[in-house]
C-alpha cells in the first residue's frame, strides 16, 4: 500500500495551479479590485558598460496601484558570484524568476566546476518567459563579467533578448534613455559612468510616477561584485511636531 501525501510545491515551474480559475472568472466584477493591488515595481533600471566592467542601477519604489507600498525595496538581485540582475514588472514574477535562475545556475556551476557565462543565465530566462507567452511580466537586465569580458543583456517579458552597451527598462526607461544616449562613450572611467547612471535614474525618478525613492548601485568587475544600497538616500521623514500621549482608553 503506497501512501500519497498532498504536496503541491514541487513542479512549480512545470505546472502552475489553476484550481481557482473558474471561480475567479465567474465573479470577476466583484473581485476586480484585487487585481489592481498586485505589487509592481514599475520602475527605472539602467545598465552601462564601462572600462573595467558593468554598472547597474535602479530606483527603490514599489507601487500597489496608485499607492506606494514600499519606499525602499531591492530591485538588484544576486544571481551568481559574477552575475547580477535588475528586475522591473510584477514584483512576484521578477523575484521568483531570479530565485529559480540562481538555483539552477548554482547546480550547473557545481557540476561544471567553472564560473557560468552570462549568456547561460539569459538563455534559461528567455526559455521560461517565452513558454509563458508574456504573461509573466518580468523585464530584466543581466550584467556580469565572465571569460568573454563584460556582458550586458536585457530580456523583455515576451522572451526576446539583446546584448547592448547601455540599456534602460521599466516605466521610466524613456526618460533614463535620453541621458544615456546623450552621454555614453566607449571606455568610460568608473567615476564618469557612476555620474551618468545616477543622472539617468534621477531623470526617471523625476519624470515618472512609478519610480522614486533612493538609488541603488551595483558595480561588477573582474574581481568582485559590490552592491551599494541607497547610494543617494532620499527619505525625509516628516518632522514629528506632534507628540501625542494617549490617556488610558476605557474599554
Partner 1 sequence: MDYNGGSIIVMGGKNCFAIASDLRFGIDNFTVEKKAPKIFKINEKLFIGMIGLFGDISTIRQILDYKTSIYSLKKSEKIKPFGFSNMLSNLLYHHRFAPFLVETIIAGLDEKNNLFIESKDILGAKSASSDYATIGTCSESLYGICQIFWKPDMNGEELFKTISNCLILGLNRNCVSGWGGIVHLVSKKGVTSKLIQTRMD
Q: Which stretches of the chain bind partner 1, using CB under 8 A?
A: 5-6, 8-9, 12, 16-21, 23-24, 30-31, 33-35, 37-39, 62, 64, 67, 69-70, 73, 90-93, 95-96, 135-136, 238, 240, 242, 244, 246, 248-249, 251
Cβ atoms of 73 and 80 closer than 8 Å: no
Alpha-carbon torsion, ordered 120, 123, 128, 133, to 10 deg: 170
CB-wise, 9 or 107, nearer to partner 1?
Answer: 9
> H or E segment at 84?
strand 83-90
Decide: helix, strand or coil at residue 7. Answer: coil
Shorter beta-carbon distance to partner 1: residue 4 or 33 = 33
| Shortest distance (Å) from residue 28 CB to partner 1 | 11
Query: Rounded to a whole number, what is the largest CA-CA distance in the chain?
Result: 71
Q: Between 186 and 251, name the residue whose CB sits nearer to partner 1.
A: 251
120 catalytic, yes or no?
A: no
Q: Cell triple for residue 5?
A: 501525501
Instruction: With beta carbons less than 8 A apart as the criterion, state whether 199 and 215 touch.
Output: no
Tell me how far apart the alpha carbons of residues 82 and 90 are, in angstroms, rounded to a whole number: 25
Smallest distance from partner 1 to CB 66, Å: 9
For the bound state, the minimum distance from the C-beta of residue 233 to partner 1, rounded and expressed in Å, comes to 15
Select 73 or 140, whichever has its Cβ closest to partner 1: 73
User: What is the nearest approach in angstroms of partner 1 to the Cβ of residue 154?
Assistant: 22
Among residues 43, 44, 98, 120, the one annotated as catalytic is: 43
Q: From 118, 65, 126, select the one nearest 90 (Cα to Cα).
A: 65
Q: Residue 100 corresponds to which cell in the numbers above?
A: 529559480
Name the residues annotated as catalytic: 43
Amino acid at each position: 500500500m503506497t501512501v500519497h501525501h498532498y504536496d503541491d510545491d514541487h513542479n512549480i515551474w512545470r505546472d502552475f495551479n489553476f484550481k481557482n480559475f473558474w471561480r475567479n472568472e465567474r465573479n470577476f466584477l466583484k473581485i476586480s479590485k484585487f487585481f489592481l493591488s498586485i505589487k509592481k515595481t514599475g520602475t527605472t533600471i539602467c545598465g552601462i558598460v564601462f572600462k573595467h566592467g558593468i554598472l547597474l542601477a535602479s530606483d527603490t519604489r514599489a507601487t500597489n496601484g496608485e499607492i506606494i507600498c514600499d519606499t525602499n525595496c531591492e530591485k538588484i538581485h544576486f544571481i551568481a558570484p559574477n552575475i547580477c540582475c535588475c528586475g522591473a514588472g510584477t514584483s512576484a514574477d521578477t523575484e521568483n524568476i531570479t530565485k529559480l535562475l540562481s538555483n539552477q545556475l548554482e547546480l550547473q556551476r557545481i557540476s561544471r566546476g567553472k564560473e557560468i557565462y552570462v549568456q547561460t543565465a539569459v538563455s534559461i530566462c528567455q526559455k521560461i518567459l517565452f513558454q509563458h507567452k508574456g504573461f509573466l511580466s518580468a523585464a530584466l537586465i543581466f550584467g556580469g563579467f565572465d571569460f568573454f569580458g563584460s556582458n550586458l543583456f536585457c530580456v523583455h517579458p515576451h522572451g526576446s533578448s539583446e546584448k547592448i552597451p547601455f540599456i534602460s527598462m521599466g516605466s521610466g526607461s524613456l526618460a533614463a534613455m535620453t541621458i544615456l544616449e546623450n552621454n555614453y562613450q566607449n571606455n568610460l572611467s568608473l567615476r564618469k559612468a557612476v555620474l551618468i547612471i545616477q543622472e539617468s535614474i534621477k531623470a526617471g525618478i523625476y519624470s515618472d510616477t512609478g519610480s522614486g525613492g533612493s538609488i541603488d548601485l551595483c558595480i561588477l568587475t573582474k574581481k568582485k561584485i559590490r552592491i551599494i544600497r541607497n547610494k543617494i538616500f532620499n527619505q525625509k521623514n516628516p518632522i514629528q511636531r506632534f507628540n501625542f500621549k494617549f490617556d488610558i482608553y476605557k474599554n
